[in-house]
């Protein structure tokens, strides 16, 4: 696998080694030893979501019980975005996006300290998360997907959102004790 640094400290882009022939392809999507040998933490929970085109999920994070996430798409494609919400970071409030798809097989490791979301580009997408901490409903937090100060250029003009994603506050309105230090 090929691992490159993303634009923010701790953010990693992973390209698995792909074996292709006339039958199709094979790749190892995860092997704990390979990931820990490369400095990744242990993962304790797997999640899968299936979403339709134009669905936006996010921008989510947990605090306390912060999660690191290894994310990738097994069917379809998404425009994946992270926002640095670490108050002490020189990139606080900046965002980064990447297309993750079943065609490019890219993975992204998102360490704690980031809000995360994605927009489905294909008709449907299956999105896979490996998490470093268990899901904790009482720790769930979020940043408004349409925060005008972040100015995220979402690729959908008619997004479909959950009721909870519609009520998150803009980043500048979130109390500092609800963000990462």
Residue 102 to residues 59, 72, 89, 98, 127: CA-CA distances in angstroms? Answer: 22, 8, 32, 13, 10
Q: How many of the other CB atoms lie within 10 Å of CB of 162?
A: 11
Residue % of the chain over a pLDDT of 90: 97
Nearest CA-CA partner of 86 in 8, 166, 6, 2: 8
Average pLDDT for 156-179: 96
SS3 state of residue 36: helix
Q: Which residues have a Cβ under 8 Å from the Cβ of 40 and sit 6 or more positions away?
A: 12, 70, 109
Number of domains in the chain: 1
pLDDT in tens, 102-133: 999 999 999 999 999 999 999 999 999 999 99
Nearest CA-CA partner of 3 in 106, 151, 130, 118: 106
- Write down the pLDDT at residue 126: 98
Report residue 75's pLDDT band, with 50, 70 and 90 as the boundaries: very high
CA angle 141, 143, 148 (to 5 degrees): 170
Average pLDDT for 152-169: 96
Report residue 67's pLDDT band, with 50, 70 and 90 as the boundaries: very high
Report residue 82's pLDDT band, with 50, 70 and 90 as the boundaries: very high
Which CATH number covers residue 174?
A: 2.60.120.10
Separation of alpha carbons 30 and 80, rounded Å:
20
Q: Which residues have a Cβ under 8 Å from the Cβ of 146 and sit 6 or more positions away?
A: 152, 154
SS3 state of residue 87: coil
What domain range includes position 164? 2-178
| Active-site option among 35, 61, 72, 129 | 129
| Active-site option among 35, 60, 61, 72 | 60
Q: Is 129 a catalytic residue?
A: yes
- Write down the pLDDT at residue 135: 96
- Write down the pLDDT at residue 8: 97
Report residue 35's pLDDT band, with 50, 70 and 90 as the boundaries: very high
Average pLDDT in the chain: 97
- Write down the pLDDT at residue 39: 94
- Write down the pLDDT at residue 119: 98
Q: Is 116 a catalytic residue?
A: no
Contact (Cβ atoms closer than 8 angstroms) between residue 46 and residue 131: yes
Phi, psi of 47 (to 5 degrees): -135, 145
- Write down the pLDDT at residue 181: 93
């Amino acid at each position: 696998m090929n691992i490159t640094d993303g634009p923010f400290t701790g953010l990693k882009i992973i390209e698995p080694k792909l074996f292709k022939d006339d039958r199709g392809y094979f790749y190892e999507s995860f092997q704990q030893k390979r990931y820990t040998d490369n400095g990744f933490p242990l993962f304790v929970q797997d999640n899968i979501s299936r979403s339709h085109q134009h669905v936006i999920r996010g921008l989510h994070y947990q605090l306390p019980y912060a999660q690191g996430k290894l994310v990738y798409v097994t069917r379809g494609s998404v425009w994946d975005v992270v926002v640095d919400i670490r108050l002490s970071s020189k990139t606080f409030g900046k965002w980064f996006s990447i297309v993750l798809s079943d065609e490019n097989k890219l993975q992204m490791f998102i360490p704690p300290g980031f809000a995360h979301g994605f927009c489905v580009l294909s008709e449907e997408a299956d999105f896979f998360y490996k998490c470093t901490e268990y899901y904790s409903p009482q720790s769930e937090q979020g940043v408004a997907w349409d925060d005008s100060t972040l100015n995220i250029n979402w690729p959908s003009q008619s997004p479909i959102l959950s009721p909870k994603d519609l009520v998150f506050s803009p980043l500048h309105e979130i109390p500092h004790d609800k963000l990462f230090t």
